[in-house]
Amino acid sequence: MIRTAAPGDIAQILDLCRAHAAYEKARYVEDRQGPRLARALFSAEPSMHAWVVDEGAAELLGYMTAVTEFATWPARAFVYMDTLYLREHARRQGWGQRLIATLSDFARARGAREIQWQTPPWNDDAIAFYRRIGADEADKVRFTLRLP
């Protein structure tokens, strides 16, 4: 079942973040993310939204997070999917499509006509999945400016 994340999911979401970073061969820096993530997700006006794949087992199978943004050129809201990650044993079972359908409903309910996201260029499985569901690619170079 896909459900909205709950405060009791934070520890498992952080475990999924670690697994996701390992999958992407990225460094995950432990910096007491739990309280900040909880504030972002569960404050009176959340700045981020999350859904989890929960089949009632000991561990969550995956998660997806998103934020609502506003684009200048079309002067419209859009939803940015920050993360969609499934544990390896949960892939190719339809969870990704169901998560995207959940996010599509969320976006439409907020008046957004578009969902945007990115994936590493080497992630052939994700790219094939996104193409299969009809997503369009946009070539851009992503930059990060770290602030002191």
Phi/psi at 131 (5° precision) = -65, -40
CB 78 within 8 A of CB 69: yes
Q: What is the pLDDT of residue 143?
A: 75
Q: What is the pLDDT of residue 144?
A: 74
CATH 1.25.40.80 is the classification of domain 2-132: no
pLDDT digits (tens, 9 = 90+) for 7-51: 999 999 999 999 999 999 888 999 999 999 999 999 999 999 999
User: d(Cα 139, Cα 143) in Å, to the nearest integer?
Assistant: 13
Run of H or E residues at 4: strand 2-4
- Per-residue pLDDT at 136 exceeds 90: no
Crossing angle of helices 33-42 and 10-23, rounded to 10°: 110
Q: What ranges do the domains of the chain cover?
A: 2-132
CB 84 within 8 A of CB 102: no
Q: How many CB atoms lie within 10 A of CB 129?
A: 18
Q: What is the pLDDT of residue 75?
A: 94
- Per-residue pLDDT at 120 exceeds 90: no
CB 65 within 8 A of CB 50: yes
User: d(Cα 82, Cα 33) in Å, to the nearest integer?
Assistant: 16
* One-letter amino acid for residue 92 of the chain: R
Q: What is the pLDDT of residue 33?
A: 95
User: Radius of gyration (Cα) for the chain, nearest Å?
Assistant: 15
DSSP H helical ranges for 4-145 = 10-23, 33-42, 95-109, 124-132
CA atoms within 13 Å, Cβ hemisphere of 40? 14
Direct distance between the N- and C-terminal alpha carbons of the chain, in angstroms, rounded to an integer: 41
